[in-house]
Amino acid sequence: MSIPSIDVHSHALPQAYLDALAELGVNPVEEDGFPTPAWSEDAHLRFMEETGQEFCILSISTPHIHRGDDATAARLSRAINDELSAVCRRHPDRLGFATTLPVPAVEASIEEACRGFDELGALGVKLPSNGNGVYLGDPVLEPLMAFLDERAAVVTIHPSLPSAVPQGIFTAGPAPLFEYIADTTRTVLNLMARGVIDRYPHIRWIVPHAGSFVPAIAHRLTGISRVLVPAGMMVPIDVMGTLRSLYWDLAGDARPVMLEGLMHIADPTHLLYGSDTPYTPVPITARNKDGLAEDPAIAPIVQAVFHDNAARLYGLDA
């Protein structure tokens, strides 16, 4: 059996979410070009036993449920979070969840985040890289950022399909291959360049998929900032210091290239294990997990990466 772990990037597809997509007329396969897996509470618990997961943080993946109507998105978010909370309450020693928020509906998002923390037992919130075309770092979201900072929230970023995708090329089909990774990178750069991460230092941000493209362009951002900051086109930031303040999950095919890049910019105490189940099938999850545990870059800190860092972040060992 794989090394015991806390899985911070683990998805659920509760009936409330499937109903929401149906109500919105969203076909995930057509929109994202990737098959939607089956999911159930029992199947998830079996996955945990088969792959050695001690605890999973459940969240909703993509498509995001804001499609232009704030009230509808708020209502659907509430239904999803109620169901996720119920699942986790049945297995409090095995499952926790991150609240789905109806961004960019700011007031409704603050209300739902507060309800998630204070009533539903949420361990954090999940924010899409863009909500109906509004990216994290947009000034319209400032009141939400202030609230999350006040609550010292753990905020998981999850990629969402960009509002505009070039058609007629391969990457326009399977969005997880490129568009998700690009959109995560886009929103992290926006957060940094607009000073949101520095301005709200109590938010604990988790960047998915081994940092997406962020490690590959981190030093390029440092160089470009030396031109843009004096020109008044970017706020002054310590690029590498800001990156080391972020948390990074290792979901997906992190080894060997993405992991190597991430190790150059990340604080090792901020690396977290993630499976990306059920979008990643169980046999592949098990293989990826074992390979990660045996990787020379991870081997010296394997206990921290698979358990201790996440336990400390979420207060699970308290």
What is the tens place of the pLDDT at every residue in 98-132?
A: 999 999 999 999 999 999 999 999 999 999 999 99
- Give the pLDDT confidence of 226-244 residue by residue, as tens digits: 999 999 988 999 999 999 9
Do residues 51 and 285 make contact, with C-beta atoms less than 8 angstroms apart?
Answer: yes
pLDDT at 1 over 60: no
**What DSSP string describes 116-156?**
IIIII--SEEEEESEETTEETT-GGGHHHHHHHHHTT-EEE
Nearest-5° Cα angle at 101, 49 to 154: 60
Q: What is the mean pLDDT of the chain?
A: 95
Residue 72 phi/psi, 5-degree rounding, is -65, -45
- Give the pLDDT confidence of 166-197 residue by residue, as tens digits: 888 998 889 999 999 999 999 999 999 999 99
Q: What is the pLDDT of residue 172?
A: 84
User: Where along the chain do its domains lie?
Assistant: 5-314
CATH architecture, domain defined by 5-314: Alpha-Beta Barrel (3.20)
Q: What is the pLDDT of residue 318?
A: 60
- Give the pLDDT confidence of 243-291 residue by residue, as tens digits: 999 999 999 999 999 999 999 999 999 999 999 999 999 999 999 999 9
Tell me, yes or no, if the pTM score tops 0.75: yes
